[in-house]
Structure 1
Amino acid sequence: MRFRFFALATLLATNGPALLPGLAPTAVQAQQKLPLTLEDIWAKPTFRSASVPGFNWMNDGRYYSALEGGSLVQHEVTTGKAVQTLVAAADLQPAGAAKSLDVDGYSFNANEQKILFTTATEPIYRHSAQSAYYVFDRGTKKLTALSTGKQGYATFSPDGQRVAFTRDNNVFVTDLATMKETAVTSNGLKNNLINGSADWVYEEEFTMAQGFFWSPDSRQIAFYTFDESQVPEYDMQKWGSLYPQEYRFKYPKAGEKNSVVSVSSYDVASGRTTKMDVGPNTDQYLPRVMWTQVTNTLSIQRLNRLQNKLEILHGDATTGNTQVVLTDTSPAYVDISDDLRYLPGSKQFLFTSEKDGYQHLYLHDMKGRQVRQLTKGNWEITAINGFDPKSGFVYYTSTEGSPLQRHLYRINLQGTGKKRISEAGGGNDAVNMSPDTQYFLNTHSSNGVPAVVSLRQGSTGNLVKTLEDNAKLRQTLTQYDLGKLEFITFKTSEGTELNASMLKPSNFDPGKKYPVLMYVYGGPGSQTVRDDTGAGIAFTNYLWHQLLAEQGYIVLSVDNRGTGARGADFKKSTYANMGKLETIDQAEGAKYLATLPYVDKARIGIWGWSYGGYMTSLAMTKNADLFKMGIAVAPVTNWRYYDTVYTERFLKTPQENPGGYDDNSPVQFAQNLKGKFLLVHGTGDDNVHFQNSIAFVEALIKANKDYQTLYYPNRNHGIAGGNTRLHLYRQMTNFVLQNL
């Protein structure tokens, strides 16, 4: 589950701060630095963060490649210097085309002599897309279209001789020597049967889109089949033409039928397909499939519908026979991750589990027997980054320093020799490790500081070269009078300690009273309180909060019970009763604010998006006396309207737990609304359907409550495109300034 008023923002953008309703005069007096504007944040490249586009490790650990000016350039790791142009932009001009390809991405074959280039990519949902793929031969400099039309997830075989891809719900293989295309499946049908890619709910909730996988020896392809014929359809209107068009897709709401999912193996040489035995129960999930290091052996993860029992199956891809080798259970639910790693030598694998109360690393033999627990403590592993078979070290990212931080560590298979690789200090590190673990690309960000992208040595973390320090953005930020984000903790009346962040105006005066806007997400396993400036919408929200602070507001965010990085008990305390404890904790945040001498307790507002919109809607109704104003963007208002995988993971099915669905639905509390309330939604939201806002509005009308709505035609859950975000945040800014 992994966004009407008068043109006030135009005044802000053109003239800087002015005397506005609800603002103390001291907040808008002459400033020494530039004022933040909505146009700077959303319409101009003023705060654009730079990165290293198209970064890929190459076979020889001494080099990496990156896209630069439409060309593909090879760099030496130890110096970061460009050593050769692998493919010039001029070589990427298809025959008869007027210009070179506008490249979206690329991948090498095994010997790096052929390259798949992606262009004209069209997003479908959150992770899925279709593109035009081209094969480039570095020896002949020949550029060839992979197939006709557009394809999905084109992938070289490990030996580099073939490419597999999807099209029209089927799987295909192309032999690169002859460019002959062979259909692996032919029964794919829209809204009925999908081969080789995920259905909507697997894509959204299990974060997977590609549904086929080459075997290490290139002889077989394992692939998913989703029979979604019995899944109910959701119907969205696409506005714009004389008669609106229907867009229908399969979407299993809580308690409804899911796709029947199977896994098969295709033998490339014989063309034979073998269906894997995943058990007689079809009402289950198969959230991960991968090949082990053992020849002909598939690993399939099987999860029961309630998602409290995860099994790892090992299967013979020739016969389809499988056996359960490991079972992980929880009284609440088991999270799915990508932290299953089969080690070279075909004898052991690594797996993470919360079974001791925190997400930790375990070593197992191939029969699933636990060899040892490698990490322990009141902290969590968030990713396995690599394994060095020579030294026996596992590299992983964890929260050992703080729940607000992420850093790189290593430990050996004996559970000893643990060492922090990341530099000392705070912040968050995102790691892309080379296959041989000799180097890693590190993206480091901390509170108020843009990301620094650097190359570092794997074993020591020593700096090799800074590739991007975002010096331009850093300099730009110094031109603005930004407030400092502070991290605090407070105890609730129940004795629970909660983490929070507080952004005060740069000219904060403790002798004055300030209005406060609370920002909430609050969903299971999430965090808004992190020592990280963030990227994308997280960074622009940070800047928007700075703009509000510039106008005399304090912005507070609280990580309530149910959020992540503090162990299973804290995260799963909201199980089967989502919304209850989270709302209590946000209310406790408002009550804590009311005790501070510099907070105007009569002027506390709240806003959030998606799960945060749900939390805002609950806060404005269940705790109506605490909040003067609220903005709910794309909220769930009734969990019966949301999908099976996410909702049932945390609430069970509505048939088993109706109270968990109804007792904390904002629709049930519409009659309590007192404050000013803005409800925002995109009509083309395939994730949290517009239906949620319609239901809440109907309840508010029935209760004779005043509210304001803002809807965006055909916009999805992100409510973006063109000047959409600028428009949205202008309306939200106006609403805050007028009502808080």
Structure 2
Amino acid sequence: MKFPAILVAFILAASSVLTAQKKEVSLEEIWSGTFRQERLQSLQSLDNGDEYVILNRDRITGSSSIDVYSYETGRKTKTILSSGDLDEIKSFSNFKFSEKEDKILLSTEVEPIFRRSTKEVFYVYDIKTKELKKVSDQKIQEASFSPDASKVAYVLNNNIYILDLNKEETVQVTQDGEMNKIINGVTDWVYEEEFSFVKAFEWNPTGEKIAYIKFDETDVPEFSMDLFGKDLYPTQEVFKYPKAGEANSKVSLHMYDVEEKSSEEIDLGDKYDIARETSEMNEDAIGDFYIPRIKWTADPMILSVQVINRPQNDLDLIFVDADDNDTEVILNETDAAYVDITDNLTFLKDNSFIWTSEKDGYNHIYHYNEDGDLLDQVTSGNWEVTNYYGYDAKADRIYFQSTENGSVNRDVFSIKPNGKNKSRLTERTGTNSASFSADFTYFINTFNSVETPPVYTLHKAKDGTQVREILNNQELLDKVSGYDFAPKELTTINVLGNDLNMSVIKPSDFDESKKYPLLMFQYSGPGSQSVSNSYYGSNDYWHQFLANKGYIVVTVDGRGTGYKGAEFKKVTYKELGKYEVEDQIAAARKLGEREYIDSERIGIWGWSYGGYMSSNAILKGNDVFSAAIAVAPVTSWRFYDSVYTERYMGIPQENASGYDDNSPLSHVDKLKGDYLIIHGGGDDNVHVQNTMRMVEELIQANKQFDWAIYPDKNHGIYGGNTRLHLFTLMTDFILEKL
């Protein structure tokens, strides 16, 4: 059919108007919250399984309330507590129920310490009597009810205390706590950062015992940071930070008898006695061990303890009998590289337990009896279990999340402990995650994909049937549709014999006959994932901004990243920065062969581990990359903490070449392109020392570069206009140099 010329002209004009109506995103919009996603407030299931509670805040009055909602209808049924009814406190920022849900711990005046740790003023609220009691006049850590809620244990100044709520008496459990020396009941810096927990004490189910970990960090070297602030003189923050190969805290496990008011150290066995002696005698401190998890079993007098050697390739699950403090190794797991620590250990009523392991090459679920004998491998296949949600005794089903539908996707499943009757509970392809009610009657599914921002729906756990939609982000979708965005494409690229996951964002007016500069983004840390079927984050909006400026933005997950099996992930063992960098260089070279990519204008950027990668990429791949940005980079693994670094690299005393051959500090003479390095001056995680050493090496090699330090900012480099300034700086660099 032939259209009249006037009609064709009209169609073209209309098309131009529609295109012109599309807005270009600005940096101010990205960092001011214009594209903020609506999220479901953090909820806590009540034991009845039919209701959940949410902490609500009244922006006008500043008050807080704990409100109860029905799972099935989503309607509010009652208010348990409102701070507006309390004289002593105006609001509270968090809460914890007692086991019987008859009392509540309220936290106020929260003061952050490090990533996960805080100091707070706690109150106990009695729901029945409506009485409010302050736990301590001082800011304390990790307040925790006893099982019958008659007592509260907490940590103050590195010592454990117990408040008897009935007698209004406080007992000091430990006496030797001292700043930068002895810690009882909470973790040291490196445990908090790398084993992801702070509270290092646990009541037993009857309230008779408290198991706790003691950290002796006397010999751990101190790290200091100058914080400049706005006063006439800067302050200095000093804390214990064990770098790779340096002395760790000496850890010990203790059992406190509440009635007798006495503690006893638990002898973990000859294996760990020898390890401690070796550590004390060896200047290289290679005989240490870690206690990354303690958890009471279904037997109220049996404590489970996970103990792992310093190289983190030999893990014991030990049972401690709290009656006589005898120990028994129930399960041992070893690996040629390392064993990951998880929170998946779950005890069933008969004290058999659920465990996850990579021992068959992929992360899967296993069921063991109370003696540590394998009953069943619950899941199997060339895919990974990515989240373990729990066990429903009534239905006799285990709930988990996995990559069975592809490594970039996530689905929720249920299965019998014997591995039979597996059922997929989610339908949409993308990233699905679940939050289950206390009795596993319902779960709230969070779904998102490259095209769909988070959608929250309620489902029946039995078969996945959707009950109702709770919240969607249609308003965000409508807003985004008004901008000149191109879709984020998911694909793969074959690099050095491996099919690697890749995402691509092209200019919205992409023309295959034109040449475009390429910017690669990556992280690449062990077990990580940057390419997934999930919706935009802040970086994606920035990448869209750059695409609008005529760049193609690509992310490739190379070897060492996660969710494709242990072999793919652990190939980087003792060689961090070798294979991951090879993959980024090879991918860039292969992409540069495409007709529409300008091989003379390929850049790369990353943050933290990604900054380490981008630094190595422009140095080792100086014939491929013409520009790189490194934000908060590690520049030598010798500068990073012991737990993380040695898990993947061993100790530097035994793997010097692995540390130095892949350090950007060893390759500064190779710099040819444009390089921007950025760091926060108050980074307690990846110290600014990394950037300062890199800067000095570049200066001595007479290499020109750009750099910026954000005073007093931590690893996230944020606060006020900081992120906007940072990304403006990075944008200007890219527009000028690439």
Name the TM-score class by shorter chain. over 0.9
- Match of 1:144, SS? strand
- Match of 1:450, SS? coil
Aligned to 1:11: none
Higher mean C-alpha deviation, range 213-222 or range 291-300: 213-222
2:298 and 2:350 in contact (8 A); partners too: yes
CA distance in 1: counterparts of 2:38 and 2:143, whole angstroms: 28
The offset of 1:551, in angstroms, is 1.5
User: Considering only aligned residues, what root-mean-square deviation do their CA atoms show, in Å?
Assistant: 1.6
Aligned to 1:257: 247
The offset of 1:93, in angstroms, is 4.2
1:114 aligns with 2:103: yes
- Match of 2:93, SS? strand
Aligned to 1:178: 167
Deviations 1:248-279 (A, max 9, x none): 11111111110001111212222121221223
CA distance in 1: counterparts of 2:502 and 2:413, whole angstroms: 26
Deviations 1:374-406 (A, max 9, x none): 111000111210111122111111111111112
CA distance in 2: counterparts of 1:319 and 1:587, whole angstroms: 59
2:350 and 2:370 in contact (8 A); partners too: no
The offset of 1:455, in angstroms, is 2.2
Aligned to 1:580: 578
1:386 and 1:435 in contact (8 A); partners too: no
Residue number among 247, 269, 272 corresponding to 2:237 in the alignment: 247
Amino acid of the structure 1 residue aligned with 2:640 = Y
Deviations 1:649-681 (A, max 9, x none): 111111111100000000111011111111000
2:48 and 2:438 in contact (8 A); partners too: no
CA distance in 2: counterparts of 1:150 and 1:449, whole angstroms: 43
Aligned to 1:525: 527
1:699 aligns with 2:697: yes
Higher mean C-alpha deviation, range 512-521 or range 456-465: 456-465
1:341 aligns with 2:346: yes
Aligned to 2:223: 234
Aligned to 2:282: none
Identity, in percent, stands at 44
1:324 aligns with 2:329: yes
1:506 aligns with 2:508: yes
1:604 and 1:626 in contact (8 A); partners too: yes
CA distance in 1: counterparts of 2:623 and 2:527, whole angstroms: 28
1:303 aligns with 2:308: yes
CA distance in 1: counterparts of 2:346 and 2:148, whole angstroms: 21
Aligned to 1:592: 590
The offset of 1:295, in angstroms, is 2.5
CA distance in 2: counterparts of 1:271 and 1:86, whole angstroms: 35
CA distance in 2: counterparts of 1:313 and 1:34, whole angstroms: 60
Residue number among 158, 169, 175 corresponding to 2:147 in the alignment: 158
The offset of 1:222, in angstroms, is 1.2
Amino acid of the structure 1 residue aligned with 2:533 = D
CA distance in 1: counterparts of 2:291 and 2:732, whole angstroms: 47
Residue number among 295, 308, 312 corresponding to 1:290 in the alignment: 295
CA distance in 2: counterparts of 1:139 and 1:245, whole angstroms: 47
CA distance in 2: counterparts of 1:452 and 1:145, whole angstroms: 40
CA distance in 2: counterparts of 1:48 and 1:563, whole angstroms: 28
1:197 and 1:224 in contact (8 A); partners too: yes
1:621 aligns with 2:610: no
Amino acid of the structure 1 residue aligned with 2:39 = S
Aligned to 2:45: 57
Amino acid of the structure 2 residue aligned with 1:514 = Y
Deviations 1:144-171 (A, max 9, x none): 3221121112122222222221121111
- Match of 1:696, SS? helix
Deviations 1:624-669 (A, max 9, x none): 1111111100000011111111111111111111100000000111
The offset of 1:505, in angstroms, is 1.7
Residue number among 374, 382, 386 corresponding to 1:378 in the alignment: 382
Amino acid of the structure 1 residue aligned with 2:78 = Q
Aligned to 2:73: 79
CA distance in 1: counterparts of 2:297 and 2:303, whole angstroms: 6
Unaligned regions of 5+ residues in structure 1, if any? 1-26
2:361 and 2:566 in contact (8 A); partners too: yes
Deviations 1:585-640 (A, max 9, x none): 00011012112121111111100000000000000101111111111000000111
1:315/1:61 CA distance change after superposition, 3 Å: same
- Match of 1:122, SS? strand
CA distance in 2: counterparts of 1:93 and 1:603, whole angstroms: 64
- Match of 1:246, SS? strand
The offset of 1:30, in angstroms, is 7.5
The offset of 1:231, in angstroms, is 0.5
Amino acid of the structure 2 residue aligned with 1:162 = K
Aligned to 2:489: 486
1:52 and 1:66 in contact (8 A); partners too: no
- Match of 2:686, SS? coil
Aligned to 1:13: none
The offset of 1:33, in angstroms, is 1.8
CA distance in 2: counterparts of 1:636 and 1:78, whole angstroms: 49
- List, as ranges, runs of 4+ consecutive aligned residues in structure 1 with deviation greater than 3 Å: none
CA distance in 1: counterparts of 2:158 and 2:20, whole angstroms: 58
1:291 and 1:299 in contact (8 A); partners too: yes
1:599/1:358 CA distance change after superposition, 3 Å: same
Aligned to 2:317: 312
Amino acid of the structure 2 residue aligned with 1:205 = E
Ranked by relative contact order (alpha carbons within 8 Å, sequence separation 6 or more), the top structure is 1
TM-score (norm: length of structure 1): 0.92
CA distance in 2: counterparts of 1:218 and 1:399, whole angstroms: 40
CA distance in 1: counterparts of 2:575 and 2:542, whole angstroms: 32
Higher mean C-alpha deviation, range 634-643 or range 594-603: 594-603
CA distance in 1: counterparts of 2:87 and 2:444, whole angstroms: 31
2:48 and 2:439 in contact (8 A); partners too: no
1:131 aligns with 2:134: no
1:66/1:666 CA distance change after superposition, 3 Å: same
TM-score (norm: length of structure 2): 0.93
Unaligned regions of 5+ residues in structure 2, if any? 1-15, 58-63, 277-287
1:437 aligns with 2:425: no
CA distance in 1: counterparts of 2:131 and 2:476, whole angstroms: 40
CA distance in 2: counterparts of 1:597 and 1:620, whole angstroms: 22
Matches of residues 37-52 of structure 1 in structure 2 within 5 Å? 37-42=26-31, 44-52=32-40
Amino acid of the structure 2 residue aligned with 1:543 = Y
The offset of 1:142, in angstroms, is 3.0
Residue number among 643, 647, 650 corresponding to 2:648 in the alignment: 650
Matches of residues 415-434 of structure 1 in structure 2 within 5 Å? 415-422=419-426, 424-434=427-437
